[in-house]
């Protein structure tokens, strides 16, 4: 049986750990709240831009804008959104595993794909395995503003137009609820499957449809990326909150069971001491 002092020091260190995890849980809870709010605030913009893009793109089917037309795929781009920090349960590993599996399934060599990694964990994973990471972005704020993301998204869109890859897929963790997040894959570019909303309006274009598509499509793709990032941020904090809550609960359980064995050991020591004293006294008589 472990000595009293050993048990005591284990209890203290577990207690300290649980204080830290508890604090992290609270921090994540507040970040999660704001993350969800940001994601919600973005919905009206996304819906609107999707509606407009769908009606314009479907209205001018003959358009030969490069972002609307699929070309033979020689190289596939993967945009992977992970977090910068760990301790978020399976949040990062789920996304990474999905991407890794997809790549293993579809590609034989490193030249067939390119990875854009947002978040340190994802970048490190793919860079360590010598996979083709063409662009990595770390240190994205917890409440990213649209202008911050614009650099990322416009370079991703730029790589598609200059032929670095012929298709862009995005992988991120979609926020379902505080306890459940789903890894989602979306084909971002080319924009072949813009969901046509129920009622399509036929617009007049000022000056013309082609020129509007020229400006609108990159913006649409950028907002898709921004939306995915907000979604991923909300999931990250939800995942971390749950992970930290579990850690705190486990620590509590551990402390309880340690306290029991501490008390037992203490009781045993006292009993032993009494027996020794009684034994000693009996020997003197």
Partner 1 sequence: MKTMKVSVVTPDGPVYESDVEMVSTKAKTGELGILPGHIPMVAPLKIGAVRLKKGGSTEIVAVSGGFLEVRPEQVTILAQTAEKSEEIDLDRALRAKERAEQRLQERKQENVDFRRAELALQRAINRISIAQRKI
What is the binding site for partner 1 (CB under 8 A)?
38, 41-42, 44-45, 48-49, 52, 56, 145-147, 150, 201-207, 211-212, 215-216, 219, 223, 226
Neighbours of 32 (CB within 10 A): 23
Distance CA 156, CA 145 (A): 17
86 vs 144 by CB, closer to partner 1: 144
Smallest distance from partner 1 to CB 147, Å: 7
Q: How far is the CB of 38 from partner 1 (least distance, A)?
A: 7
CB neighbourhood size of 83 (10 A): 26
Nearer to partner 1, 125 or 220 (CB): 220
C-alpha to C-alpha distance for 100 and 95, rounded to whole angstroms: 9
Contacts (Cβ under 8 Å, ≥6 apart) of 48: none
At its nearest, how many Å lie between partner 1 and the CB of residue 124? 27
State how far the Cα of 285 lies from the Cα of 282, in Å rounded to an integer. 5
Query: Least distance to partner 1 from the beta carbon of 221, Å?
Result: 13
Nearer to partner 1, 215 or 282 (CB): 215
CB of 201 to partner 1, least distance (A): 5
| Nearest approach, Cβ of residue 211 and partner 1 (Å) | 8
Q: Helices 209-284 and 4-59: crossing angle, nearest 10°?
A: 170
Closer CB to partner 1, residue 34 or residue 186?
34
Q: Considering beta carbons, is residue 17 or 219 the nearer one to partner 1?
A: 219
> Minimum distance between the CB of residue 218 and partner 1, rounded to whole angstroms?
11
Backbone angles phi, psi at 208, to 5 degrees: -155, 165
Nearer to partner 1, 216 or 255 (CB): 216
Residue closer to partner 1 (CB basis): 5 or 61: 61
Please, what sign has the CA dihedral across residues 154, 158, 161, 164? negative
Q: Distances from the Cα of 76 to the Cαs of 21, 63, 164, in angstroms?
A: 40, 23, 9
Q: Could you tell me the two tokens for 153? A: 């998204």
Across the beta sheet with 167-177, what order do the strands follow? 133-137, 113-118, 76-81, 167-177, 180-189
């Amino acid at each position: 049986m472990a000595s009293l002092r050993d048990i005591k020091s284990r209890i203290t260190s577990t207690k300290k750990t649980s204080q830290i995890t508890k604090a992290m849980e609270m921090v994540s809870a507040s970040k999660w709240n704001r993350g969800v709010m940001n994601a919600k605030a973005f919905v009206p913009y996304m819906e609107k831009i999707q509606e407009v893009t769908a009606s314009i793109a479907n209205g001018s089917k003959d358009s030969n804008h490069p972002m609307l037309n699929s070309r033979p795929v020689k190289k596939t781009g993967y945009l992977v959104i992970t977090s910068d920090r760990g301790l978020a349960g399976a949040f990062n590993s789920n996304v990474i595993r999905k991407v890794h599996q997809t790549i293993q399934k579809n590609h034989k060599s490193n030249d067939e794909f390119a990875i854009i990694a947002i978040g340190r964990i994802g970048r490190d994973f793919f860079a360590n395995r010598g996979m083709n990471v063409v662009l990595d972005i770390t240190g994205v704020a917890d409440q990213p503003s649209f202008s911050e993301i614009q650099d990322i998204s416009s370079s991703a869109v730029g790589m598609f137009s200059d032929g670095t890859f012929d298709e862009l897929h995005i992988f991120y963790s979609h926020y379902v609820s505080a306890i459940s997040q789903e890894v989602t894959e979306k084909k971002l570019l080319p924009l072949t499957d813009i969901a046509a909303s129920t009622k399509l309006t036929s617009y007049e274009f000022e000056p013309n449809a082609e020129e509007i598509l020229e400006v609108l499509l990159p913006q649409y793709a950028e907002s898709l990326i921004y939306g995915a990032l907000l979604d991923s941020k909300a999931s990250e904090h939800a995942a971390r909150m749950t992970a930290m809550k579990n850690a705190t609960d486990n620590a509590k359980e551990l402390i309880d069971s340690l306290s029991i064995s501490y008390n037992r050991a203490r009781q045993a020591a006292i009993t032993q001491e009494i027996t020794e004293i009684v034994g000693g006294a009996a020997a003197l008589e």
